[in-house]
A and B are shown apart, each in its own frame.
Chain A
Amino acid sequence: SAVISQKPSRDICQRGTSLTIQCQVDSQVTMMFWYRQQPGQSLTLIATANQGSEATYESGFVIDKFPISRPNLTFSTLTVSNMSPEDSSIYLCSVEEGRAKNIQYFGAGTRLSVL
Chain B
Amino acid sequence: QQQVKQSPQSLIVQKGGISIINCAYENTAFDYFPWYQQFPGKGPALLIAIRPDVSEKKEGRFTISFNKSAKQFSLHIMDSQPGDSATYFCAAGQGTYKYIFGTGTRLKVLA
A associates with B: no
Which residues of B are in contact with A by a Cβ distance under 8 Å? none
